[in-house]
Amino acid sequence: MCLAISRNYEQRRAASRDSSGRVQRNGYNAHPTSAKSKGAGVDEKTDVLIVGGGPAGLAAGIAARKYGFRVIIVDAAAPQIVKACREGLLPDTVEALARLGISFLPSEGSALRGIRFLDGEDSGQAYFPAGPAIGVRRTTLHQKMVDHAADCGVRLLWRTHVTGLNGKGVFLDGTQVYARWIIGADGAN
Ligand SMILES: Cc1cc2nc3c(=O)[nH]c(=O)nc-3n(C[C@H](O)[C@H](O)[C@H](O)COP(=O)(O)OP(=O)(O)OC[C@H]3O[C@@H](n4cnc5c(N)ncnc54)[C@H](O)[C@@H]3O)c2cc1C
């Protein structure tokens, strides 16, 4: 659960619930969806627009929501996003994720006490001085971050390309969305 969101956001979210208590799709909803089904229109506005829904974009989005900003994350792909990864989260990363409200059950990964580098006959190793690292499937990490971002009220637009920028915001598949801040978290792009 995202605990540190603003009271304003909670009021908006409560106002956007229907009689069954479900969050309606025209609010800052809790469910990932695509721009096409959301109908991102020309009057769409947000405080923060993040290009890229990988670990960096999701972390930035969750952090911005904790300060009460309206956040949209746009990604050309959609979960599950599978990437080349050695699937190790170093202790600083584990700590940073915990600060965002993301932690792992023992069944979701393996604690790693240290690291060893091998190069032919040569090797070097060390134990982590403060707390363990975690080995976790990248898809597990991504899904947890996606779920937590949605719980925090981040609006997630999958299968949507950012096709351009101007001084007012970005273009999503050609449609202007206005944003006060744009964060580029588009990975190797
Ligand atoms: C072989 C390998 C092993 C690795 N092992 C580890 C490891 O063990 N531990 C670790 O911590 N890191 C590891 N990394 C590094 C880690 O994978 C990257 O640092 C991490 O993915 C970067 O996250 P990101 O969110 O910046 O980018 P990404 O995960 O690449 O996300 C960027 C997103 O932006 C989207 N995007 C790009 N352009 C647009 C656009 N125009 N419009 C809409 N969306 C767009 C893409 O679809 C993508 O989903 C490894 C990397 C490699 C290559």
CATH number of 36-82+139-184: 3.50.50.60
Q: Measured in angstroms, how far is the CA atom of residue 187 from the centroid of ligand 1?
A: 5
Among 12-21, 119-128, 155-164, the least confident range: 12-21
Q: Measured in angstroms, how far is the CA atom of residue 76 from the centroid of ligand 1?
A: 13
Query: What does pTM read for this prediction?
Result: 0.82
**Ligand 1, atom 19: nearest CA belongs to which residue?**
187
The preferred substitution site among 72, 82, 85 for testing ligand 1, maximizing ligand atoms within 8 Å of CB, is: 85
Q: Measured in angstroms, how far is the CA atom of residue 54 from the centroid of ligand 1?
A: 6
Q: What percent of the chain has pLDDT over 70?
A: 77
Categorize the per-residue pLDDT at 189 as very low, low, confident or very high, splitting at 50, 70 and 90: confident
Segments of the chain assigned to CATH 3.50.50.60? 36-82+139-184
CB 50 within 8 A of CB 71: yes
Q: Any idea what the Cα angle at residue 148 is, between residues 142 and 151, rounded to 5°?
A: 145
Q: What is the mean pLDDT of residues 6-35?
A: 40
**Average model confidence (pLDDT) across the chain:** 83
47 contacts: CB under 8 Å, gap ≥ 6: 64, 69, 70, 71, 179, 180, 181
